[in-house]
Amino acid sequence: MSSSSPVRVLHVIDSFDLGGAQTALRHLIQATDRTRFAPEVAAMHGRGVFYEDFRALGVPVHSLSPRRWLPLYVPALAALILQRRPRIVHCHLFGSNWIAKPLAALLGVQVRISHDQCNDALRYESRAARWLDTMTNRLSTHVCAVSRSTRDFLLTQEGLPPDRVSVVFNGVDLERFDPQRATVTRDAAHPLIAGVGRLHPQKDFSLFLEVAARLAQRNPAIRFVIAGDGPEAAALRQKAAALGLTDRVRFAGHVADMREIYASADALLLTSRYEGTPLTLLEAMAMRVPVIASRLDGIAEVLTDGGDGFLVAHGDVKGFAERVATLLGDPALRARMAEAARQKVEAAFSASAMAAAVEAIYARCLSDL
């Protein structure tokens, strides 16, 4: 790899909408060594909430089509690649992996990286999706899997060679998510349980509300906040009302600065159906917020049950409620778990560690050319 000028890297992602993959990419670009690599980012369609966030990082930002079902992104991406001539195209999420990666291969891009964010249910439920994912992954120079279980899926279900798939855990900006920088504090009289993420069936905020209803029966002072937006927003508000939680649950919508949510929360309740390595988990841990989460493969690779958080079988409303109540009733346990969580993130899940791992993959792939 030449040291005369930084290697141009084009990151391609499905959209700039709210999502963990977008957050992870923002952390990755922010931590990238600009003396070695020159990143820019393109979304297949739209200008969502992350468009300005990426521009603020001081990198070129492109939206390839105004809408998802208007496939202008195909000729626009081809033109962008031919104009910018990146040596590396790094694809994030299904759309970019299935469309941008084959196009990059066709146009002669030397290194094509896939970033696999989780064991998405789509690949289990749809044979066509799994076949398409398998075929396009064979065009990958290398695949970054955000958890060991995701890597195992790619090896066992898609048949990728082990030497072409590496585990690269998501990472969080430890300076930004530092509880010492928080400007708000917790209200001891009204414990607050937070739910953070896109309001999508994957995150199962319906289950979150069922747990909230059970906790509200036991503790009249407890409050809840859901930070995020998505297709289930209206249905979740209706369910909260039906459960008698209208005055207990605040729907905050998209929150630009999540640090205030974490700083005011006594615990994070993560009720997802499936995950990779969720950024909200790492952000909460960095902010010393204890986490009660679904016992899912990717989450269980980060969180130690009873050590730096609690793991509960997905769907176990009683189990989730009991773990939350245990934390709220034991300040010493809450403090111990919070400190252990912060130490773990500092040791293994920083944005700088993620960027260093990705850059090592870039360098290895370039040296193999």
pLDDT digits (tens, 9 = 90+) for 151-191: 999 999 999 999 999 999 999 999 999 999 888 889 889 99
- Does residue 285 sit in the same domain as residue 247? yes
- Does residue 220 sit in the same domain as residue 335? yes
The pLDDT confidence band at residue 15, using thresholds 50, 70 and 90, is: very high
The pLDDT confidence band at residue 244, using thresholds 50, 70 and 90, is: very high
| Terminal alpha carbon distance of the chain | 10
Residues 227 and 261 sit within 8 Å (Cβ to Cβ): yes
Return d(Cα 241, Cα 182) in angstroms, integer.
32
Res 246 pLDDT > 70: yes
- Does residue 154 sit in the same domain as residue 47? yes
- For residue 2, is it within any domain? no
Report the mean per-residue pLDDT for the chain: 95
Res 3 pLDDT > 80: no
- Does residue 78 sit in the same domain as residue 54? yes
From edge to edge, which strands make up the β-sheet containing 267-270?
249-253, 223-227, 192-196, 267-270, 291-294, 310-312
Q: Return all residues near 207 (Cβ < 8 A) that are at least 6 apart.
A: 271, 314, 315, 317, 320
- Does residue 311 sit in the same domain as residue 355? no
Q: Return all residues near 127 (Cβ < 8 A) that are at least 6 apart.
A: none
Q: At what angle do helices 279-286 and 20-31 cross, to 10 degrees?
A: 60
- Does residue 327 sit in the same domain as residue 356? no
- Does residue 308 sit in the same domain as residue 355? no
Q: What is the pLDDT of residues 274-314, one digit of tens each?
A: 998 999 999 999 999 999 999 998 899 999 999 999 999 99
- Domain coverage including residue 20: 7-171+350-367
Per the structure, how many domains does the chain have? 2
- For residue 134, is it within any domain? yes
The pLDDT confidence band at residue 52, using thresholds 50, 70 and 90, is: very high
The pLDDT confidence band at residue 19, using thresholds 50, 70 and 90, is: confident
What's the Rg (C-alpha) of the chain? Answer: 21
- For residue 60, is it within any domain? yes
Higher pLDDT, 256 or 116: 116
Q: Which of 4-8, 16-20, 240-244, 257-261 has the highest mean pLDDT?
A: 240-244
pLDDT for the residue 334: 95
From edge to edge, which strands make up the β-sheet containing 88-92?
61-63, 37-45, 7-15, 88-92, 111-116, 142-145, 165-167
Burial 267-278 (b: 16+ CB within 10 A, else e): bbbbbbebbbbb
